[in-house]
Amino acid sequence: MTDRDRFGLRGSVKSSEMHRTWYSRECGPAACETEERSDVTTVEFRPDGSLQRHWYKTQRLYPRSGQISTNTAMTIDW
């Protein structure tokens, strides 16, 4: 089984990108706020189906302050 198979992809796929967004609601004594979170996963494969690169980025929006927190991780398999 190749890395490409483990990601559920078939054929000669070179890269794939998946975007997800979800919301959580938190209520305090005065009001409720909805917080948005999202992530992006990008993978690249070699012609033989083995994993070449894997990026993972998360993002979180804080409604009260308007701040955005972003984290990124990248793995390169030589």
pLDDT, tens digit, for every residue of 41-65? 999 999 999 999 999 999 888 777 7
pLDDT of residue 73: 87
Which residue did the predictor score with more confidence, 5 or 77?
5
Task: Answer yes or no: are the C-beta atoms of 16 and 7 closer than 8 Å.
Answer: yes
What does the mean pLDDT of the chain come to? 88
Q: Is the pTM higher than 0.85?
A: no
Task: Among 1-10, 24-33, 48-57, name the one with the lowest average pLDDT.
Answer: 24-33
Q: Is the pLDDT of residue 32 over 90?
A: no
Q: Of the candidates 63, 42, 60, 59, which has an alpha carbon nearest to the alpha carbon of residue 51?
A: 42
